[in-house]
């Protein structure tokens, strides 16, 4: 019978929610390669956002069905697929009961700050999708498998840019002669980043109340596209977003350089964030899964390897472009966001290193490889999508562009 064969195989079962997305796809393949039993849960809404907004990944991506069958034909490994919305508890609880995960890795949220700042419907969608989805995951764990470890993607942006060092989740404060260790203050800068703050609070409460074990990974901005597994075949290729809504800083700069568009530094360019290579995202996920939190523990890791300002990134891409004979220019774009443009930033990131993370620090060769990747798909670039189109200030109740 199925359950006894599961017991005897002793392979850990990991459900990857959001496994068709940028971080999730790379992670699902990596875990499958490392001999975990993997299931992907995804409602493919990220692909729908592209269709609705007229955007596309720089790299052509195969359908999720073709992706997993190609993986099976290359490696013999099966990745189970559950296509549906985790906000639908009937769907999600059926998937959960059928797969019986030891770990749930949750990437399945609307993750773009500009998308969440487009209009009221998209702000509401972002918060309801993210907060309700995460609550459903917590309810499923509570109801069906209290021992299951939740590994949840949070974001460094939950902390904002305070004028003191950023700790990993908690800070010890002495106030009026008394001392306590408290959740680090959160000051998010978009309705998206705020949805992650709400998630963290809901997860923390569930750990305390029901004894759930959870790891919140406050990830920095991810860059890069290739991992060992996605490199195995063109049908396993990951998505690479470069547009003004879903593209993130370094990935955008490399694509901009490849098509001769000046690099779009918003405002003064002193905005500093934590960054990491997608090859380190998959390593961090593996480490968090292999070393689970204790029952009732709400563990927080800051998941990034280096800090850069956007000005630093523009300079690094210009230098790498020069070597490849590309003349890279930088422009100052009036900042579409409300954020500090010059500020103190010093965030801790030691806990994943202590667990064994071996970082791929940003190097010329990584930038070269991203630039070359972008040059290879140059013909697919839609120049109209490069400049930012969403303003934090002009935010209104009306819906812009098409309907979700």
Catalytic residues: 155, 192, 196
Q: What SS3 string covers 86-128?
A: CCCHHHHHHHHHHHCCCEEEECCCCCCHHHHCCCHHHHHHHHH
Check binding of 155 to ligand NAD (CB under 6 A): yes
Q: What's the CA gap between 191 and 158, in Å, rounded?
A: 11
Among 374, 398, 369, which Cα is nearest to 386's?
374
Pairing of strands 13-17, 37-42: parallel
**Minimum CB distance to ligand USQ, residue 65 (Å):** 26
Cα–Cα distance measured from residue 172 to residue 163, given in angstroms and rounded to the nearest whole number:
16
129 binds ligand NAD (CB under 6 A): yes
> Could you give the CA distance from residue 189 to residue 186 in angstroms, rounded to a whole number?
10
101 touches, from ligand USQ, ligand NAD, none (C-beta below 5 to 8 Å by class):
none
CB of 25 to ligand NAD, least distance (A): 8
DSSP 18: T
**Residue facing ligand NAD at closest CB distance:** 21
388 touches ligand NAD by CB under 6 A: no
Of 37, 109, 235, 280, the one binding ligand NAD (CB under 6 A) is 109
Q: Is the dihedral of CA 163, 164, 167, 173 positive or negative?
A: negative
Residue 214 contact partner, candidates ligand USQ, ligand NAD, none, CB within 5 to 8 A by sort of partner: none
Q: Give contact residues for ligand USQ (rule: CB under 6 A).
A: 111-113, 155-157, 193, 220-221, 248-249, 252, 264-266, 271, 273-274, 310, 337, 339
3-class SS string, 245-272: CCCCHHHHHHHHHHCCCCEEEECCCCCE
- Alpha-carbon distance of 401 to 404, in angstroms, equals 9
Smallest distance from ligand USQ to CB 16, Å: 17
Binding-site partner at residue 113 among ligand USQ, ligand NAD, none, CB < 5 to 8 Å by type: ligand USQ
- Residue whose CB is less far from ligand USQ, 294 or 394: 394
According to CB under 6 A, which one of 16, 23, 113, 404 is a site residue for ligand NAD? 23
Q: Which residues bind ligand NAD (CB under 6 A)?
A: 18, 20-24, 41-46, 85-87, 107-111, 129, 133, 153, 155, 219, 221-222, 248
């Amino acid at each position: 019978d199925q359950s006894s064969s599961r017991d005897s195989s002793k392979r850990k079962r990991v459900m990857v929610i959001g496994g068709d997305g940028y971080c999730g796809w790379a992670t699902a393949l990596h875990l499958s390669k490392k001999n975990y039993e993997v299931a992907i849960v995804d409602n493919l809404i990220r692909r729908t956002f592209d269709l609705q907004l007229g955007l596309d990944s720089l790299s052509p991506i195969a359908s999720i069905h073709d992706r997993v069958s190609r993986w099976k034909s290359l490696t013999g490994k099966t990745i189970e697929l559950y296509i549906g919305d985790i906000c639908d508890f009937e769907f999600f609880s059926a998937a959960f009961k059928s797969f019986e995960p030891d770990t749930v890795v949750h990437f399945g949220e609307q993750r773009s700050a500009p998308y969440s700042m487009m209009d009221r419907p998209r702000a509401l969608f972002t918060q309801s999708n993210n907060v309700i989805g995460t609550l459903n995951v917590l309810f499923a764990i509570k109801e069906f498998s209290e021992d299951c470890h939740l590994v949840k993607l949070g974001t460094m942006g939950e902390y904002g840019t305070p004028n003191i060092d950023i700790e990993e989740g908690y800070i010890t404060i002495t106030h009026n002669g008394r001392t306590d260790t408290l959740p680090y203050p959160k000051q998010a800068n978009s309705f998206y980043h705020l949805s992650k703050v709400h998630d963290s609070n809901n997860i923390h409460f569930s750990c305390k109340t029901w004894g759930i074990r959870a790891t919140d990974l406050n990830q920095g901005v991810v860059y890069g596209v290739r991992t060992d597994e996605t490199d195995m075949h063109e049908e396993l290729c990951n998505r690479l977003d470069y547009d003004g809504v879903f593209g993130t800083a370094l990935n955008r700069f490399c694509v901009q350089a490849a098509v001769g568009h000046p690099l779009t530094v918003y405002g003064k360019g002193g905005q500093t964030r934590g960054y990491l290579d997608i090859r380190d995202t998959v390593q961090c996920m593996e480490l968090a899964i292999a070393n689970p939190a204790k029952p009732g523990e709400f563990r927080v890791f800051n998941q990034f390897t280096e800090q850069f300002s956007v000005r630093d990134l523009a300079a690094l891409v210009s230098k790498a472009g020069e070597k490849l004979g590309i003349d890279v220019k930088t422009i100052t774009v009036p900042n579409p966001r409300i954020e500090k443009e010059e500020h103190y930033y010093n965030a801790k990131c030691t806990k994943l290193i202590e667990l064994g993370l071996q970082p791929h620090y940003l190097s010329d060769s990584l930038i070269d490889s991203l630039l070359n990747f972008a040059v290879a798909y140059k013909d697919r670039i839609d120049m109209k999508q490069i400049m930012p189109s969403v303003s934090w200030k002009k935010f209104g109740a009306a819906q812009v562009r098409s309907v979700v």
